[in-house]
Structure 1
Amino acid sequence: MAEVPIVVHRAIAQGGRPVVIRNEVAGLAHCDGDVVEFVRRAGLSLGEDILDDPVWVRWKGGRAHDYEAV
């Protein structure tokens, strides 16, 4: 399986999910809007619907779109 450019990792104990874009830490997302903003700041104009596209985004360790503490 080819590596995807955006990885949203498992939520941390305090809440939020670390986001990595092109192997660089982009930040800690607390909602889909945060992920979209990190993607925009990385220079990708993809829109919010990209979050459900497995070619672009991999959700690791939990359900997609869930940012609650573990």
Structure 2
Amino acid sequence: MRRAPIVVHRISAAGGRRVTARDRNMGLAHSDRDLLEFLRQAGLADAEDLLDDAAWIEWVGGNPHEYTLT
């Protein structure tokens, strides 16, 4: 099975999630707004519709759209 090109990794102990685009580190997202900015930088200008598309984004560990440990 092919991996999604964007990976939103596990929530860090300090909060936020590392984001990679095709194995390139894009940064640490603390919100969907941050994630959308990283996607824009990766060339996906209209990425809002991709946030819940498993073909594009793989959310690893925890629930999608959560950026802090509860």
The normalised TM-score by structure 2 is 0.92
Q: Determine helix, strand or coil for the equivalent of 1:66.
A: coil
Q: Which residue of 1 aligns with 2:14?
A: 14
CA distance in structure 2 between the partners assigned to 1:61 and 1:25 by the alignment: 18
Q: What SS does the corresponding residue of 1:38 show, helix, strand or coil? A: helix
- Percent identity over the alignment is 51
Aligned to 1:33: 33
CA apart distance, 1:62: 0.6
CA RMSD of superposed structures (Å): 1.2
CA distance in 2 between counterparts of 1:9 and 1:52 reads: 15
Distance in 1 separating the partners of 2:23 and 2:69: 23
In structure 2, list runs of 5 or more residues that go unmatched. Answer: none
TM-score (norm 1): 0.92
40-49 vs 30-39, which moves further: 40-49
Match status 1:53 vs 2:44: no
Q: 3-state SS of the aligned residue for 1:39?
A: helix
Kindly indicate which of the two structures has a greater share of residues assigned to strand.
Answer: 2
Structure 1 counterpart of 2:61, which letter? G
Q: Kindly provide the amino acid, as one letter, of the partner of residue 23 in structure 1.
A: D
